[in-house]
Amino acid sequence: MIDFIGDLVNFYLIPGLVLGSIYALGAIGLTMTFGILRFANFAHGETMTLGAYFAWTLVQLTGWHPIAVLPIAMGLTVLVVLGIDRGFYKPFRASPTIMLVIASFGMMLMVRSVVQFIWGVQMKAMVPGIQMPVVLFDWLRISPKHMMIIASVLVLMFAVHYLLTYTKIGKAMRAMSDSPELARLTGINTEAVIRATWIIGAALAAAAGVLLAVDTHVETMMGFKLLLPVFAATILGGIGRPYGAVAGGLVIGMAEELSSYPWIGTEPLLNPGYKAGVAFAIMVAMLIWRPSGLFRGKVY
């Protein structure tokens, strides 16, 4: 019995929690963009990739730990995303939504190409070597990097909660998400809210990319692979609902990992290669059963 619980917790539940936490960070930024700017940002995954490569470069230059350079990587990513918004998204602000969606799709391809041109296409290790797990109660094994990832995610989520709940710009963001027209009539500076949305979304996306790189490795397609689970988490939690995005990310991450557990017999229930299919299936089921998501988000 102890071996069964140990295997389930050590090799499936903890990795699922770590993966779900990373999805949650990415989904918060995506759901805020969805809720305030009213379009699906397909370049969000490449923002995660860009943040990971910025952090990798800083680690190579300074020799510091990835968490130490994380704030700098987040800042650099924010600057790039603000430049992209000013140059590519702002001119389409009053255009039909489909034009912004197409612009974001094009930006996704452009950013990926730039990353591949600058850093190449070879995989890179953010943290070289193998870390020995911390053993608790003789059966619970937790990798130090997993503890660090979960702790970092909790700090960032608390910071977002504080910003949205207690700051003036956070309240303005919630007001604009509920009704952009009413927010303008009440005198809210909508451009400032849009800038804040991009800043928060880009910073969290960069953090998600860096933490995923710490857990695995850095590669040019990592953001694209994250895009579907992050979209699924956003829809599952409810579009425009940051807390729903957190819940959706955790559910998607857990579901992906637990789907490969040998629940029947000794073979995995689903081949690990089908994990992305699990996220897609959950997303489609939620769109059919409850399009507003678990937290009753917006339906466009």
Residue 50 lies in a domain: yes
User: Domain with 204 in it: what CATH number?
Assistant: 1.10.3470
Asked whether residue 297 carries a pLDDT value surpassing 80, the answer given is no
CB-count exposure of residue 105 (10 Å: 0-12, 13-18, 19+): middle
Residue 199: domain span: 2-119+137-289
Q: 131 lies in a domain? A: no
79: in domain: yes
pLDDT in tens, 228-266: 999 999 988 888 888 889 999 999 999 988 888 777 767
- Domain assignment present for residue 181? The answer is yes
Q: Could you tell me if residue 130 is inside a domain?
A: no
Q: What is the pLDDT of residues 64-95, one digit of tens each?
A: 999 999 999 999 999 999 999 999 999 988 88
Q: DSSP letters of 27-96?
A: HHHHHHHHHHH-S--TTHHHHHHHHHHHHHHHHHHH---HHHHHHHHHHHHHHHHHHHIIIIIGGGTTS-
Which pLDDT score is estimated for 298? Answer: 62
Residue 56 has what pLDDT?
Answer: 96
Contacts 24+ apart (CB under 8 A), 118-124: 118/53, 119/53, 119/56, 119/57, 119/220, 121/219, 121/220, 123/217, 123/218, 123/219, 124/56, 124/217, 124/218, 124/219
What pLDDT, in 10s, does the model give residues 20-63? 999 999 999 899 888 888 888 999 999 999 999 999 999 999 99
Global confidence as pTM: 0.91
Model confidence pLDDT, tens digit, residues 97-123: 889 999 999 999 999 999 999 999 999
Flag whether 126 is in a domain.
Answer: no
What's the whole-number mean pLDDT along residues 156-179? 88
- Say if 267 falls within a structural domain: yes
> Is residue 299's pLDDT more than 60?
no
Query: Does a structural domain hold residue 170?
Result: yes
Residue 104 has a CB neighbour count (10 Å cut-off) of: 22
> How many domains is the chain built from?
1
**Beta pairing partners, 230:** none
Residue 194 CA, chain-centre distance (Å), reads: 19
Of 275, 169, 276, 228, nearest to 44 (Cα)? 228
